[in-house]
Amino acid sequence: MHWHSRLVQPQTLAAPGFESLATPTYRGSTVLFNKQADVVDAWDQAKGGYSYGLYGTPTTLELSGRIAQLEGALHSFVVPGGQAAIALVYFAMCQAGSHALVPHNAYGPNKEMAQGLLKGLGIDVEPYDPLIGAGITDLIRDNTSLIWVESPGSVTMEVQDVPAICAAAHEKGAMVAIDNTYAAGVLFDAFAHGVDINMQALTKYVGGHSDLLLGTVSVNSEVLKEKVGATFKQLGLAVSPDDCNLALRGLQTLGIRLAHLEKSTLEVAEWLTKQSAVAQVLHPAFPSCPGHEIWKRDFTGSSSVFSFLFTDEYTAEQVEKFIDSLSMFKIGMSWGGVTSLALVYPNIERPGKDYAGRLVRLNIGLEQTSDLIADLERAIEVISK
Ligand SMILES: *Cc1c(COP(=O)(O)O)cnc(C)c1O
């Protein structure tokens, strides 16, 4: 054999039998078959055998299996990010002429897709009040195929009565999907509360280190598995096995990180409730958060992201200066990593409410809380002079 050929088809191989604690990263697009008759092109490789890297390598499928186990799902689809997971849910559940419902406080890019791509395809996505509860029944039409819930909702943190919404939806034949990113898929047991599709951005708590983007869509029935699976295959939502490997590493410390973050975040939020500059703390574990009673009933804990509102003695310009005066808290999007973050939401749109640029969202990281509180105290002082 010419050495060029030998480079491509090597005859030496490392000995098998290497047992380690780390999950190997299997990269690969082409999958080899023993004979032509074995060639398949099916996404469900657990059932039909490996077919193509697009549908996952053993590393991807290991992550998929572990998320499914954690969430109590039949199957989890691993996709390139939380937003891709949202798209997968919409495209699996809706078609031209479908109606869907999405809460006002949903993740911004979800609403952007609803008013953009989906509208263009003839899918009608209607916003609703996240605190509507069983009242959602009046909004469900014959063609309502999907109801989103996100609890607590992005930025304004309203906790939804998910069991009541699910009961109303199922009565009228609609499916409920949750964006369960806040709870890392675990602090709120979505399937036990009646949800049909459990979606989360692994980018946040599972990754946990601000260095990867991944999402999951988990289902609990064969029918939904086939439905979402067909869409997953057609959309070609490939993920990098390297990113999946990082997510698998993140999973190992998810429990201990969430427990620590809950404690630290409660400490910082508690301190904020005592500041005269603060009008309201929007953290689900505090009675000042809309839906707090439901959080107590349905959740097993809280995580690291919450918001607070400055009193109306402060202008939007002062609040912006507050953000710029922080030093421990960095200014940036996303959350769930080890670093504390702060952002002001100047143009947050909620019907009947005007936050006037006074709403600040914090993500608490793994820094010492005394340093974080000192940072907040200093920045409040700067704008209060
Ligand atoms: C971050 C986030 C997403 C999107 O995740 P990406 O991986 O950044 O695409 C979706 N929903 C919520 C609630 C999020 O916070």
Q: Can you give the pLDDT at residue 349?
A: 86
pLDDT in tens, 329-377: 999 999 999 999 999 988 888 998 889 899 999 999 999 999 999 999 9
Mark which of 221, 248, 275 sits at the end of a domain.
248
13 has a pLDDT exceeding 90: no
State whether residue 280 is helix, strand or coil: strand
Spatial CA neighbour of 84 closest among 210, 219, 198, 235:
235
**72 shares a domain with 89:** yes
- Residue 63: name the closest of 243, 209, 332 by CA: 243
- The CATH number for 228's domain is 3.40.640.10
Shared domain for 206 and 60, answered yes or no, is yes
| Residue where a domain stops, chosen among 183, 215, 248 | 248
Total count of domains within the chain? 2
Q: What is the pLDDT of residues 100-146, one digit of tens each?
A: 999 999 999 999 999 999 999 999 999 999 999 999 999 999 999 99
Q: Which residues line ligand 1 (CB under 6 A)?
A: 81-83, 107, 154, 179, 181, 201, 203-204, 213, 215, 334
What's the pLDDT at 176? 98
Q: Which residue, among 331, 328, 381, has the nearest Cα to 360 in the 3D structure?
A: 331
Q: What is the pLDDT of residue 11?
A: 82
Where does residue 25 rank: exposed (0-12), middle (13-18), buried (19+ CB within 10 A)?
Answer: middle
Mean pLDDT computed over 162-189:
98
How far does Cα 184 stand from its chain's mean position?
7
Helix (H, G, I), strand (E, B) or coil at 69: helix
Q: Are residues 312 and 283 in the same domain?
A: yes
CA distances from 357 to 12, 158, 354, 377, 378 (A): 64, 18, 8, 20, 20
Residues 320 and 362 in one domain: yes
With 0.95 as the threshold, say if the pTM is over it.
yes
Task: Measure the CA–CA gap between 164 and 193, rounded to whole angstroms.
Answer: 9
Whether residue 224 is found in the same domain as residue 369: no
Give residue for tokens 């559940």.
Answer: 93
Tell me the average pLDDT of the chain: 97
**Which atom of ligand 1 lies at the shortest distance from residue 84's CA?**
9
Based on the fold, state whether residues 170 and 109 are members of the same structural domain.
yes
Rounded distance between C-alpha atoms, residue 137 and residue 311, angstroms:
36
The pLDDT, as a whole number, for residue 320 is 97
Q: Residues 208, 298: one domain?
A: no
pLDDT tens by residue, 194-243: 999 999 999 999 999 999 999 999 999 999 999 999 999 999 999 999 99
Q: Residue 89: inside a domain, yes or no?
A: yes
Q: For the chain, how many helices (H) and strands (E)?
A: 12, 12
Q: What is the pLDDT of residue 211?
A: 97
> Residues 160, 220: one domain?
yes
Q: Is the pLDDT of residue 12 over 90?
A: no
Q: What is the pLDDT of residue 346?
A: 80
Amino acid, single-letter form, for residue 59: T
Q: Do 233 and 108 have their domain in common? A: yes
- Average pLDDT on 60-85 reads 98
Helix axes 369-384, 241-273, angle to 10 degrees: 60
pLDDT score for 33: 97
Q: Is the pLDDT of residue 269 over 90?
A: yes
What residue owns the CA closest to ligand 1's atom 4? Answer: 82
**Residue 159 or residue 347, greater confidence:** 159
Beta-strand runs (E) in the chain: 75-79, 99-103, 124-128, 144-150, 175-179, 197-201, 215-219, 278-282, 305-310, 330-331, 341-344, 359-363
Q: Which atom of ligand 1 is nearest to the CA of 213?
A: 7
Alpha carbon 56 to chain centroid, angstroms: 20
Q: Which CATH number goes with the domain that contains 259?
A: 3.90.1150.10
CA of residue 363 to ligand 1 center, whole Å? 14
- Residue 277 and residue 233 share a domain: no
Is residue 152 within 8 A of residue 187, CB to CB? The reply is no
* Residue at which a domain ends, from 202, 220, 248: 248
| Mean pLDDT, rounded, for 158-167 | 98
Residue 35 in domain: no
> In angstroms, what is the span from residue 155 Cα to ligand 1's centroid?
12
What is the reported pLDDT for 170?
98
The Cα-based distances of 163 to 90, 179, 295 in angstroms read 21, 15, 12
Could you identify the atom of ligand 1 that is nearest to the CA of residue 333?
A: 1
Residues 229 and 309 in one domain: no
First to last CA, the chain: 80
Whether 358 and 259 map to the same domain: the answer is yes
State the maximum Cα–Cα separation within the chain, in Å, rounded to a whole number: 81
In a domain, 258, yes or no: yes
Query: What range does the domain containing 119 cover?
Result: 46-248
